[in-house]
Amino acid sequence: MRRMHVALGCALTGGLGFLALPAGTALADGTVVHPVHADHTAPVDHTGHADQTAHADHTGHANQTAHAAEPGAAPAMSISAPTIDNAYGAWLTLTVTLGPTSGDGQVALYATPAGGARTFVASGTVDAEGQWDVTYSITRATTFTAVFAGDAHDAPASASLTLYAYADVTDRLGGSDKTTKSDGVVYDVFPGAGTLTLYSTVAPNKRGECLEPETEQYNKGAGWIADTKYGCDKLDGLSHDAAPFTLSQAAGDEYRIRGDYLRDAKDKANLNAQGPWLYFIVTK
C-alpha cells in the first residue's frame, strides 16, 4: 500500500479534547503553530527540512511485476535407424522424430564415436509429420544425440541412440598363378608342393589384436565342413597379417579360407568380423 508521510509537530484538533489554536498562533516559547490542511498534507516548509516533506514510495508490488512466460512441457523426441549392427562404413539413414511444438521444429544431430569426441553432424527442420532424416557413414560404435533447443512455449528436449559397426576384414591369396571356375565360383589353383599365404587387413587399425584364419573343406555329400582351428595371429602395426600354409596333405580337394577378426575384450569400438570366403583347389 502506498503511504503518505506527514510532517511531525502539527497541532492536534479539538476532536481529542484539546483546544485548536488559530493559524499562525505563537506559543510562549515563540514557536508558530501551522494547521493541518483538509487533504491531510503538511504545508510547505519554507525552512527546507527533510522531515516535513511528503515522499512518494516508488517500491513496486510483487503482484504488479511482469514476468516472462515459462516454457511448457518438453515435446516427445526419438531417433530411429534401420539396423543396430552395421557393416563397416555403411551409410545409414537416421530419422529424428519430434512431437508437436509451437515453433518451426528445428533440431540438430550430434555423433560421439567410441573413443572420440562429440561432433556436430547436421541440423534441419522436421516435416509436417514431425520427422527429419539425415545420413551418416558409421565405422565404429557411435552414440547419436538429437537436440531440440526449445522455444518460447516448449521446453528443450533430446534423445539418444547407440549404433554399432563391424570391423572390416579384407583378404587375398598369394602363391597361385592360375584360376578355374566351377558352378560359377572362381577357384585359385595351387600345386600340392606349393605354399598358400592368406593376407588379411583389418580396418580400423587393430594393431596387436587377433586375426584367426578359418578354413573349410568341401565334401560332396555333406557340403562345406569346418577344418582345423589355427589359433590367433597378432595383427601388426599396420593391422596386417600374413598366414602361410603348406599344401602337401591337401592335394586333390577343394577348400575355402578367410580371416576372422576377434576383438580384444577392451575394444568396444567394433564388432567381430570375418573376411570374404576365398576358394581354392589343390592339385596333385
* pLDDT reported for residue 184: 92
Regarding pTM above 0.85, the answer is no
- Dist CA 233 CA 161 (whole Å): 34
Spatial contact of 103 and 148, defined as CB atoms under 8 Å apart: no
* pLDDT reported for residue 72: 81
* pLDDT reported for residue 71: 63
Distance of CA 93 to the CA centre of its chain: 16
Spatial contact of 37 and 43, defined as CB atoms under 8 Å apart: yes
CA distances from 138 to 69, 189, 276 (A): 42, 37, 20
**Which three cell numbers mark 222?**
555333406
DSSP, collapsed to helix, strand or coil, labels residue 139 as coil
**Which three cell numbers mark 145?**
544425440
Q: What is the mean pLDDT of each run of 10 residues along the chain (284 residues)?
A: 33 37 47 46 46 44 43 91 98 97 93 97 96 98 97 94 98 96 94 96 98 95 91 97 94 95 96 98 93
**Per-position b or e across 78-112, b if 16+ CB within 10 A of its CB:** ebeeeeeebebebebebebbbbebeeebbbbbbbb
* pLDDT reported for residue 217: 95
Spatial contact of 263 and 241, defined as CB atoms under 8 Å apart: no
37: exposed, middle or buried (Cβ count in 10 Å: 0-12, 13-18, 19+)? exposed
Strand partners, 144: 111, 161
Spatial contact of 144 and 107, defined as CB atoms under 8 Å apart: no
Tell me whether strands 233-234 and 119-125 are parallel, antiparallel or unpaired.
unpaired
Radius of gyration of the chain (CA): 44
Nearest of 174, 101, 108 to residue 147 by alpha carbon: 108
- Dist CA 275 CA 261 (whole Å): 8
* pLDDT reported for residue 103: 86
